[in-house]
Amino acid sequence: MSLLIRGGTVVNADSMFRADVFCEGETVTRIATSIDPGEVNADRVIDASGRYVFPGFIDPHVHIYLPFMGTYAKDTYETASKAAVVGGTTTLIEMICPGRDDEPAEAFALWAGKAEGLSACDYTFHMGVTRYDDAAEQQLRQIVKEGITSFKVFLAYKGALGVTDDELYAACRLAKGLGVVVTAHCENADLVAALQAKLLSEGKTGPEWHEPSRPPRVEAEGVHHFCTFLELTGASGYIVHTSCRDAIEAALPFRARGVDVDLETVIPYLTLDSSYAERLDFEGAKYVMSPPIRAAEHQRYLWDALRAGHVATVATDHAPFDFVGQKDMGKPPAGDFTKIPNGIPSVEHRVTLLWTKATPAHGSGVFDLHRFVEVAGTHAAKRFGLFPRKGVVQLGADADLVVWDDTYRGPITAADHYMDTDYDGFEGFEITGRPALVTVRGEVVAEDGKFTGTLGRGRLLKR
């Protein structure tokens, strides 16, 4: 199968040019000012005149299969990968989150098996390190040999996913030795537990108390803690879902001293604020995630940090749970915000919301088109060993392409999203652009908001 995309403006993180792009099989094989369809014998020709052609975007932080707080995330790779590609994301990096008693190798096989033969887009994993002993270390070494070159540690969820300081130090030393990246959820688990107990003892049980149980300083302390371990071991780090000014400012002195650490934020923090979790009639439970959505002043700071380059990527932390039957596990008579499954379904909307809110075409002009491509995909490709196969439109790259419709206008609604949840956290948000066409390794997988691809085409990417 060959595909010719004509007349578009190709936008990479470091270049922009009008060109025709020809794809043979799974790769980009020719880029030129003008390519005659008859000369290349293209099976399909797409007119992209007046439109941008972006490299397929990468979401470096999703949860699809996730046992959590007594239930399971709703999506499968069938629903999540459809949602991803419709929104312009062509590669997913999922967090593997084994329990402390689980064997890493078995967890890796389980998570990979949930995607194999079902995903419409390409995928890879961050391997969760939830305990560290000799047996775990040997299995982690083998998993890295199989092409999974990043770990995930939790400085939260004490007694479940969280690691001790001894385990954190050992994981960072191993990562340094193997040349892999340690990604981290940064909070202080002991402080969270103490604050949760205090609030519940005072009868403060609703979802509006989730954020006060994990305030900005608790997140900042976790960032400082993690960066200290990076500095002492020389490991490379990546802090996931950074939600607030305090956390970013805790990391910057370490970066100034040469510590190799990147910061990620996620689309809910850039578009929602803490008032959503304060909605009445338990509606706030829809917006419970950890770290929590912060007050509006933190959102403004995050946008500034993105523009300044202090924050490197925009992900989702996609963690989909139904409002009825899952989120309401914390509803009276239980009346306990700590029982609300954490997460907001968002993999479908990351790129369109980022475009709407940030680009000069229609949003605030927070950053230009090059920065848009960088934070939505290219930096993640470079950080996690996928570049230049992914994250760029150039000869030899995978033919993951997004032809962008700048004229589209429409609302987000749960009635027509592909994610398998009974609500949408961005219900009613107006979008000012979306993908007109999306390809994964040369196959057209989405057109004008509809999935048109093949389930099972997605591959596990070895990095």
Query: What's the one-letter identity of residue 408?
Result: Y
- Give the separation between CA 436 and CA 427, rounded to whole angstroms: 21
Q: Where do the H-state alpha helices sit in 87-133?
A: 104-115
Distance CA 312, CA 151 (A): 18
Closest of 428, 398, 399 to residue 415, by C-alpha: 428
pLDDT score recorded for residue 39: 92
CA distances for 280 relative to 155, 176, 441, angstroms: 31, 47, 46
257 phi and psi, to 5 degrees? Answer: -90, 5
* Continuous H helices in 234-257: 245-256
How far is Cα 148 from Cα 32, in angstroms, rounded to an integer?
Answer: 35
Rounded Cα–Cα distance for residues 220 and 253 (Å): 12
Three state DSSP letters for 298-326: HHHHHHHHHHHCCCCEEECCECCCCCCCC
* Structure token digits, residue 15: 């270049």
Token pair in block for residue 315: 């992900």
Residue owning tokens 């305990």: 131
User: CB of 83 within 8 A of CB of 346?
Assistant: no
The residues, any chain, with a CB within 8 Å of residue 158's CB and separated by 6 or more, are 189, 190, 192, 193
Distance (Å, rounded) from C-alpha 349 to C-alpha 366? 18
Per-residue pLDDT of the chain (463 residues; tens, 9 = 90+): 899 999 999 999 999 999 999 999 999 999 999 999 999 999 999 999 999 999 999 999 999 999 988 899 999 999 999 999 999 999 999 999 999 999 999 999 999 999 999 999 999 999 999 999 999 999 999 999 999 999 999 999 988 899 999 999 999 999 999 999 999 999 999 999 999 999 999 999 999 999 999 999 999 999 999 999 999 999 999 999 999 999 999 999 999 999 999 999 999 999 999 999 999 999 999 999 999 999 999 999 999 999 999 999 999 999 999 999 999 999 988 789 999 999 999 999 999 999 999 876 555 567 899 999 999 999 999 999 999 999 999 999 999 999 999 999 999 999 999 999 999 999 999 999 999 999 999 999 999 999 999 999 999 999 9
As to burial, measured by CB atoms within 10 angstroms (0-12 exposed, 13-18 middle, 19+ buried), residue 375 is buried
For residue 357, what are its two tokens?
Answer: 């809110």
Burial class (CB in 10 A: 0-12, 13-18, 19+), 139: middle
Q: How far apart are CA 318 and CA 62, in angstroms?
A: 5
Cβ neighbours for 91, distance < 8 A, ≥ 6 positions apart? 56, 57, 58, 59, 121, 122, 123, 124, 377, 381, 386, 390, 400, 461
Taking the C-alpha atoms of residue 251 and residue 449, their distance in angstroms, rounded to an integer, is 38
* H-state helical runs in 181-215: 189-201, 210-213
The two structure tokens encoding residue 459: 């591959």
Beta-carbon contacts of 309 under 8 Å, excluding residues fewer than 6 positions away, are: none
Distance CA 241, CA 173 (A): 23
Q: What is the CATH number of domain 56-369?
A: 3.20.20.140
Round to whole Å and give the CA distance between 243 and 166.
26
Residue 405 β-bridge partners: 434
CB 373 within 8 A of CB 395: no
Task: Check residue 358 and give its pLDDT.
Answer: 87
- Let me know the angle formed at the C-alpha of 376 by 380 and 57, rounded to the nearest 5 degrees: 85
Instruction: Write down the pLDDT at residue 365.
Output: 66
pTM for this predicted structure: 0.97
Q: What is the pLDDT of residue 362?
A: 52
Amino acid at 194: A
| Omega of the bond leading into 333 within 30 degrees of 0 (cis) | yes
pLDDT at 361: 56
For 253, other C-beta atoms within 10 Å of its C-beta total 11
